[in-house]
Amino acid sequence: MSTNAIKTRFEEPVMLWLERMPLLSTYTKTKGWPYVIAWCHRIAGLLLVAYLWFHIYTLLSLSSPPSYDATMKFYGFILFRILEWALAIPVIFHALNGGRLILYESFETRDDESMTRWLLWLSMLYVALLGALMLIGSQSVSAVFFWLTMSVAGLTLAYGVTSKIWAIEHSLLWKLQRITGAYLLILIPAHMLFMHLNYSMAHEANTVVMRMQNYFVKAVDITLVVVVLYHAGYGLVSFTGDYLESRSLRIGLAALVILVMLFFAALGIRLALVI
């Protein structure tokens, strides 16, 4: 995929702006866009892992509503609100680019030009939509209805990907990462949108606790915790494995990642069950 190949009438200004950015321009010129996109995917994945750990840790204070409300008041400052919105960029980029990779692996056809165009425009649309919801902040929707719809969509997509990649010659763990990726492609962007439909949805302890007491919502939350920690854990192990020569170091690091992910899974599941 050449740099010019993904420049068309609509995205030309955006691509030109990106190509002029200090660090990015060096790599787009010497290594090309596919290399840059692969690295952006990795960096976004790592940012999401860091945010995921921090997110689970913050949610633990829900066991004491006044302390959760105080934490949310602190994160209500404009700088944190902007950072919260900016999180949509790695989220949607990693989700759509991951979706693009899964599509290639499932159908074995490549059309980088139109895929990158879709990736760019859908990402910008999503980030703008989330910003608009955060500014308006007054919509309301039934949590069970929303999560039922999203779960059906996520499971359907995961089933479709399973039926496509099952026959591919790869390990079961690899296949599971792609299947979890397909499920997350719907659930993670939806999770962020839902949390910003209304300010109280995510920022007021009583509203959050009331929602999490519903058994269906508990099941969705636990599934999401398990799926996302598996996906991220596998990603970390395979990504770091690419750079470590020593087999014992690779095994040691994989064991450490598994332990940390199991620890966060236990925290997340316990929270969903006791609330």
Of residues 176 and 209, the one with the C-beta less far from ligand HEM:
176
Cα 93 to Cα 64, 89, 239: the distances in Å are 34, 6, 18
Q: Which is nearer to ligand HEM, 185 or 201 (CB)?
A: 185
| Minimum CB distance to ligand HEM, residue 94 (Å) | 5
Q: How far is the CB of 243 from ligand HEM (least distance, A)?
A: 11
Provide, rounded to whole angstroms, the least separation between the CB of residue 136 and ligand HEM.
Answer: 24
For the CB of residue 234, give the shortest distance to ligand HEM in the complex, in Å. Answer: 8
Closest CB to ligand HEM among residues 78, 167 = 167
**Partners of residue 138 on adjacent β-strands:** 198
Q: How far is the CB of 135 from ligand HEM (least distance, A)?
A: 24
Give the binding site for ligand HEM (CB under 6 A). Answer: 41-42, 45-46, 48-49, 52, 94-95, 98-99, 101-102, 178, 181, 184-185, 188, 228, 231-232, 235-236, 238-239
Minimum CB–partner distance for residue 186 and ligand HEM (Å) = 8
Dist CA 32 CA 40 (whole Å)? 13
Helix locations, the chain, DSSP H: 12-20, 22-30, 33-59, 65-74, 78-86, 88-107, 112-136, 143-165, 172-195, 200-203, 205-212, 215-241, 247-274
Comparing CB distances to ligand HEM, the nearer of 101 and 148 is 101
CA–CA gap between residue 258 and residue 139 (Å, rounded): 39
CB of 79 to ligand HEM, least distance (A): 23
Residues in the chain: 275
Q: Which is nearer to ligand HEM, 121 or 230 (CB)?
A: 230
Those residues whose C-beta lies under 8 Å from the C-beta of residue 167, and which sit 6 or more positions away, are none
Residue with smaller CB distance to ligand HEM, 62 or 233: 233
> Which among 133, 135, 151 is positioned nearest to 143, based on CA atoms?
151
Residue showing tokens 């989220």: 91
Q: What are phi and psi of 149, to 5 degrees?
A: -60, -50
d(CA 229, CA 269): 11
Residue 23 or 50: the one with the smaller Cβ distance to ligand HEM is 50
164 neighbors 101 (Cβ within 8 angstroms): no
